[in-house]
Amino acid sequence: MANSLFAAALLLSPVLGAPAPAPQAPEVTTPASFGPDSQISASVQPSTSGYRVEVLVNGYTSATYHGPYTGTPTTVGAVPGPTTIAASIPAQPLNPTATYYNTEGVPLNPMPAPFTPAGGLGTNGSLPRYMVNSDFDFESIALGLYQEWIELDLFHDGLVRFTDEEFTAAGLGPEARSLIEFMADQETGHSTLLTNMLGERAPKQCVYNYPYTTVREWVDFMQRLTRFGESGVWGFINHLDSREVGQLLAQSIATEARQQQIFRQMSGLTPMNVWFENGWPQSWSWTMLAPYISYCPENTTRLAWQNFPTLHILNNANINRYSPNDTAQDGSETVGRRIADPSVSNITGSCENLNVTGYGCGPAIAHNKSEPLSFPGKKVLFEWEGPGSAVGPNNSYVTSTSAGAPKFVGWSQQLNLTYSPLTVTGNNSGYTYQPEGFVYDNEGIINGTMAVMLTDLDLYVTPFNTSLLNPHIVALGLYQAG
């Protein structure tokens, strides 16, 4: 009977078959060479994109073009609704129905069935409907699908772009490449799932413009991109009207979290260095994703989310340096000027092939850093763009802000959004000092790959209402804290 009910629910929205077991990360080793017999072949189905997919001699597939958009946009700006009710959503007092508190340690209300405590959502036996159920749901899942599409293309692209010799020199043998290909295959399932939950107006795969030129930069870019892909979902998943969609999305994003950890390991970073992952509003992740989309097929569904101006972190730590504090102070050790561009890898003083505990940064299960990428008290240098830049698919979105003059730097990580004062030194330039703060005990708040922003107000927000800060954001950036 249970199987029949589940099958009937899927008829409302054909989602997916039985999930495959989660892959186990291979043991990372550092042999002198990698034999050809370790190569694991795989077959990736061509995507339903608006451009041709090419099968290369090494068996990997990729789109035939990655580069900038060269046309003229025919539509400009985020997609609007029929009308906009207010300029912002004001903070409200505590929900008057949020009064439950259990002092007895036992169920306080009658149970609807044996072993079933009272309460919960979607627990009354009604047939699940795995479809978005509001404009908020549609726009959130559509953003998630834009993310899944770029990951499907991105994970394939480096496998095609770089030679076996370049991968081996970067410490990634055939088995690691096969794991990346499997993660690309996962995105086929994720994009199918989200497409089914959206329906006929689900966005299609687009054409992308990537910033990397080496294997190290490719992997670094992937750990950054999966960071905002994961955090962008944690920020909205519990606000979805459709609990059924949230359930399946959680099972998808749990995989994304594993991908981000693996890409950190392949980048020579600590795989996990926080107690809690951070959730971001949709406009933050869209701001970080949009600059890497060149153009999309005609009539592709557009998004309603905001694109903030870019905050450039001039001395963002170069993850490839054995002494991160030697990173240049002028932004020259980031490969470009887009918000999530990776660290330059071809440098003097690289830790990539350094076999010294505490300083090496080749691919590994884990590394401890004798010199951290950042630390409390570090002077962090900024430049920021003004609003009005054309970004995203077909250059058809425009960066905007409703904030006043910047006064604070917001640091969003773990369960916290912490502020430090901004010292303005010139036209759209300034600095702050990385603050110290703790989640619980001695666990520092600021670590990992995280969002930073300039704001006109040090507004108090918590993980469930972070989007209230959006009207006060001047510019948004991605900080490599650890």
pLDDT digits (tens, 9 = 90+) for 76-106: 888 788 888 888 888 888 888 888 999 999 9
pLDDT at 41: 32
Separation of alpha carbons 452 and 459, rounded Å: 14
Residue 295, Cβ density class (10 Å: 0-12 exposed, 13-18 middle, ≥19 buried): buried
Mean pLDDT of the chain, nearest integer: 88
Give the dihedral of Cα atoms 360, 365, 371, 374; nearest 10 deg. Answer: 130
40-55 pLDDT per residue, tens: 233 333 333 344 455 5
pLDDT at 33: 33
Share of the chain above pLDDT 70, in %: 88
pLDDT at 60: 76
Q: Is residue 3 over pLDDT 70?
A: no
**pLDDT band of 58, cuts 50, 70, 90:** low
Q: Characterize 252-261 residue by residue with b for buried, 16 or more Cβ atoms within 10 angstroms of its Cβ, and e for exposed.
A: bbebbbbbbb
Helix (H, G, I), strand (E, B) or coil at 244: helix
pLDDT at 11: 32
The region of weakest confidence among 111-120, 261-270, 405-414 is 111-120
pLDDT at 55: 53
112-133 pLDDT per residue, tens: 999 999 999 999 999 999 999 9
pTM here is 0.86
Distances 295 to 267, 302, 410 between C-alpha atoms, Å = 29, 12, 32
Separation of alpha carbons 127 and 135, rounded Å: 22
pLDDT at 24: 42
Separation of alpha carbons 338 and 429, rounded Å: 17
288-313 pLDDT per residue, tens: 999 999 999 989 999 999 999 999 99
Dihedral of alpha carbons 469, 471, 474, 475, sign:
positive
163-211 pLDDT per residue, tens: 999 999 999 999 999 999 999 999 999 999 999 999 999 999 999 999 9
Number of H helices, E strands in the chain: 7, 14
Q: Is residue 281 over pLDDT 80?
A: yes
**pLDDT band of 35, cuts 50, 70, 90:** very low
